[in-house]
């Protein structure tokens, strides 16, 4: 028995594959992580599901419709939309059941109905023959108040600014620096001036005896 991993695409023996706890599909073990929330080390999640668990996608398929209705809601109570228009708003296709089944347009809070319910709108009438749906605004939902937007508004935390007060260097550092300067000065005067307490030679003396021309 072999199967293809839905993430890396490798075809492997099912012995090397595990079923994802969330999407119930088979993946290779390399593309899975243990579902730490369960505490069961054999419970695995595929990387797709693990990502969704860690950072849930705030945008649903119908969020385009939600934001459109929210926007229309600020100046109108009734909106008639063709199915094709909705396809455009959600940048996707409505499922076939939306074309065939009137129940799909019911206002029960299921995943797709949230597309209009979350905006404060309800389906008033649907005409499957014409492919047109009429939404009616039932309550006010403040514009731009999605879960995503809410998470973005955080209490203002000012960036830490370094205090303008000049930082005083430590006394040890200062004394070390002074000691170094003094040493440097001493070295300079030593190389220039008398060595081992001797008076520096005159120009005449220097001409007489050059240290690198030692007598043999």
The residues of the shown chain that bind Zn ion, judged by CB under 5 A, are 5, 7-8, 20, 22-23, 28, 31, 46, 49
Residue 37's Cβ-count burial label (10 Å; 0-12, 13-18, 19+) is exposed
CB 86 within 8 A of CB 133: yes
Please report which residue ranges of 91-152 form alpha helices under DSSP H: 96-100, 114-117, 147-152
Q: Closer to Zn ion at the Cβ: 19 or 136?
A: 19
**Which residue, 15, 23, 18, 17, is CA-closest to 48?**
23
| Minimum distance from residue 104 beta carbon to Zn ion (Å) | 26
* Distance in Å, CB of 29 to Zn ion, minimum: 8
Question: Rounded to the nearest whole angstrom, what is the least distance from the CB of residue 20 to Zn ion in the complex?
Answer: 3
- Other residues' Cβ atoms within 10 Å of the Cβ of residue 142: 10
DSSP SS3 for 142: coil
Q: In the block, which residue shows the tokens 């007060």?
A: 165
**Shortest distance, position 53 Cβ to Zn ion, whole Å:** 9
Quote the least distance from Cβ 21 to Zn ion, whole Å.
Answer: 7
Q: Closest CB to Zn ion among 5 and 81?
A: 5
Cβ proximity to Zn ion: between 46 and 94 the closer is 46
Q: CB-wise, 46 or 86, nearer to Zn ion?
A: 46
For 172, the enclosing helix (H) or strand (E) is: helix 171-192
């Amino acid at each position: 028995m072999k199967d293809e991993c839905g993430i890396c695409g490798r075809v492997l023996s099912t012995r090397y594959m595990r079923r994802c706890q969330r999407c119930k599909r088979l993946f290779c073990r390399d593309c899975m992580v243990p579902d730490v929330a369960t505490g069961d080390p054999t419970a695995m999640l595929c990387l797709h599901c693990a990502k969704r668990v860690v950072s849930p996608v705030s945008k649903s398929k119908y969020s385009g419709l939600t934001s459109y209705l929210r926007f229309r809601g600020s100046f109108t109570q009734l909106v008639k939309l063709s199915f094709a228009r909705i396809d455009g708003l959600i940048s996707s296709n409505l499922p076939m059941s939306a074309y065939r089944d009137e129940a799909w347009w019911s206002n029960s809070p299921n995943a797709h109905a949230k597309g209009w319910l979350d905006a404060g709108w309800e389906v008033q009438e649907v005409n499957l023959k014409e492919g047109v749906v009429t939404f009616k605004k039932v309550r006010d939902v403040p514009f731009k108040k999605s879960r995503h937007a809410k998470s973005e508004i955080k209490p203002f935390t000012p960036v830490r600014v370094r205090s303008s007060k000049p930082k005083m260097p430590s006394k040890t550092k200062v004394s070390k620096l002074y000691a170094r300067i003094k040493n440097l000065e001493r070295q300079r005067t030593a190389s220039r001036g008398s060595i081992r307490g001797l008076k520096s030679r005159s120009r005449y003396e220097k001409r007489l005896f050059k240290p690198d021309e030692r007598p043999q």
